[in-house]
Amino acid sequence: MIRSPEPQVASFTADPARSTALPGYLYSDPAVFAEEKRRLFYKSWQIVAHESELPQAGDYVCATIVDQSVFVLRGRDRQVRAFFNVCQHRAHELLKGRGNVKSVIVCPYHAWSYELDGSLRAARATPNLPAFDPKEYGLAPVRLERHLGFLFVNLDPEAPSVSALAGGMFADMARELPWLGDLTFNPAYSFTEETGSLLQANWKVMAENCLECYHCGPAHKAYVDMIDVGHYELTRHDAWMKSSAPLRRNDNSAYHVGPEEPVQHNVFWHLFPNIEFSVMPGARALSAFYFTPVDAEQTRISWVTLTMPGEQLPQDRLDYLGKVLWLEDAAICESVHRGLKSLGYRRGRFVASDDHANISEINVHAFQRQYAEAMGL
């Protein structure tokens, strides 16, 4: 249990219309972050890659879940597996970045080698060791599930499956996007943990920003020129939430959307705690972006984008998303993070209502309730 430096958190209640926000120290305290690692990130499902990034046997992608290095790798039997990225001899990391293992995984420290299925192949000078059984020294496996081609991993062998937590979300995405199964990974529009953006803010600030459009009018002028936020809809479904709104006008100050184009609306799906799927008006494409904490006050933002085979996204759309909308949100989040540490911040109230979703923070309150429950607050 985290001990609050404030007298109590009783003013955070189940009724969003009467509740204050959670206290600011939860967004910057290193002790809180250490507890988040144990209670949240070591127990939640995280996207590490898309299956189409691993077309050949031996292809691998490394990823970092807070401070835990893992990799996914396609074996010679075509199966994709996930492992902790650590040699079982003296704990040296085995792989870096992404690439292809031509034959076996070889540790650069003492040259222990592993088959692509994770079993120990050879360990120099061990045949004469007493009671040494190579079967006991294979790579440590990590749970892996595949959904929409995305490869999810979970460090907790006892955690509920992604299907149990978010099967309804994947079904809803399939209903909204009938072309979903035709999409493929597009490296031109994807940014990994090596190439993604580093946000100078706590990960929860980014998550909460994605869950409401109360800020859209003041902060995203071009967005509200394109999207009809007056018809915004918010829904909550335990581990996942949804935000959606139709296109307001085809010719707008964000980017042009032809009336014949297949997507005439905007949808966000949020999977607790830190994954967001989105579809924007225009061409058929789906992005998954996830905000992985580096520490209590820095967050790595990564994207995986799926498009129709051979299709390119219009440059005006890319310019708006990368050079306008993202920069607006990054500035907001970094300012909020600084403000949450202010001695003058007294914890604001939620503007929460399902009747006026465009100005409602009801999903933010739901996120904070999920967080408080997971953290034992």
CATH code at position 184: 3.90.380.10
Residue 336 has pLDDT above 60, yes or no: yes
> Of 214, 238, 233, 210, which Cα lies nearest the Cα of 325?
210
Which pLDDT band, with edges at 50, 70 and 90, does 10 fall under? low
Band of the pLDDT at 355, cuts 50, 70, 90? confident
Three-state DSSP class for residue 319 = helix
The reply to whether 203 and 124 lie within a common domain is no
**Domain limits at 333?**
24-43+167-375
Q: pLDDT at residue 5 above 70? A: no
**Residue 271 and residue 123 share a domain:** no
Shared domain for 123 and 176, answered yes or no, is no
The amino acid at residue 186 is: N
Q: From the centroid of its chain, how far is CA 158?
A: 21
**Residue 212 reports pLDDT greater than 80:** yes
251 shares its domain with 326? yes
364 in any annotated domain: yes
> Which residue, chain included where needed, has tokens 């296109």?
247
- How many CB atoms are located within 10 Å of the residue 263 CB? 19
Answer positive or negative: Cα dihedral of 25, 29, 31, 32. positive
Count of domains for the chain: 2
Domain closes at, from 146, 178, 195:
146
Structural domain contains residue 249: yes
Helix-then-strand count for the chain, H and E: 8, 18
Residue 4 lies in a domain: no
Query: How far apart are alpha carbons 361 and 259 in whole angstroms?
Result: 31
Same domain? 205 vs 136: no
Average pLDDT over residues 141-149: 95
Which pLDDT score is estimated for 1? 42
Residues 119 and 179 in one domain: no
**How many other CB atoms are there within 10 angstroms of residue 154's CB atom?**
22
- In single-letter form, the type of residue at position 323 comes to K
Helix (H) or strand (E) holding 287: strand 285-295
Nearest Cα neighbor of 41 from 299, 336, 334 is 299
Q: What is the pLDDT of residue 9?
A: 59
pLDDT in tens, 258-283: 999 999 999 999 999 999 999 999 99
Instruction: Summarize the confidence of residues 368-373 as an average pLDDT.
Output: 96
64 and 119 in a single domain? The answer is: yes
Specify whether 58 is located in the same domain as 207.
no
Strand residue runs (E) in 10-106: 46-50, 59-65, 68-74, 80-84, 98-100, 105-106
What number is the average pLDDT over the span 221-245? 96
Q: pLDDT tens, 154-175?
A: 999 999 999 999 999 999 999 9
For the chain, what is the largest distance between any 2 Cα atoms, rounded to a whole number of angstroms? 75
36 and 142 part of one domain: no
pLDDT of 194 > 80? The answer is no
How much is the pLDDT for 12?
87
**Domain end (from 146, 178, 203):** 146
Among 369, 329, 347, 341, residue whose Cα is nearest residue 213: 329
Task: Specify whether the CB–CB gap between 364 and 204 falls below 8 A.
Answer: no
Mean pLDDT across 334-349: 95
Q: What is the mean pLDDT of the chain?
A: 93
How would you class 301 by CB atoms within 10 Å of its CB: exposed for 0-12, middle for 13-18, buried for 19 or more? Answer: buried
Residue 152 belongs to some domain of the structure: no
- At residue 265, what are phi and psi to the nearest 5 degrees? -155, 175
The stretches of the chain forming alpha helices (DSSP H) are 30-36, 162-176, 203-209, 216-219, 221-226, 315-320, 326-340, 362-375
Q: Count CB atoms within 10 A of the CB of residue 32.
A: 17
- 358/107 Cα distance (integer angstroms): 53
Q: Is 294 contained in some domain?
A: yes
115: Cα separation from own chain's centroid:
30
* 227 and 371 belong to one structural domain: yes
Contact in structure between 73 and 103 (CB atoms under 8 Å): no
| pLDDT higher at 7 or 342 | 342
Question: Residue 74 falls within a domain, yes or no?
Answer: yes
Phi/psi at 141 (5° precision): -75, 155
CA distance 372 to 361: 17
Chain centroid, CA 61 distance in Å: 16
**Euclidean distance between the first and the last CA atom of the chain, given in angstroms as a whole number:** 7
Among residues 114, 146, 178, which one ends one of the domains? 146
pLDDT given at position 353: 79
List the structure tokens of 64.
Answer: 């970092």
Residue 76 lies in a domain: yes
For position 2, what pLDDT does the model report?
46
Task: Give tens-digit pLDDT for 61-98.
Answer: 999 999 999 999 999 999 999 999 999 999 999 999 99
Same domain, residue pair 31 and 96: no
Residue with the bigger pLDDT between 299 and 352: it is 299
The pLDDT of residue 197 = 86
Q: Are residues 285 and 245 in the same domain?
A: yes
- Has residue 162 been placed in a domain? no
Q: What is the CATH number of the domain that holds 121?
A: 2.102.10.10
Residue range 278-297: mean pLDDT, rounded: 95
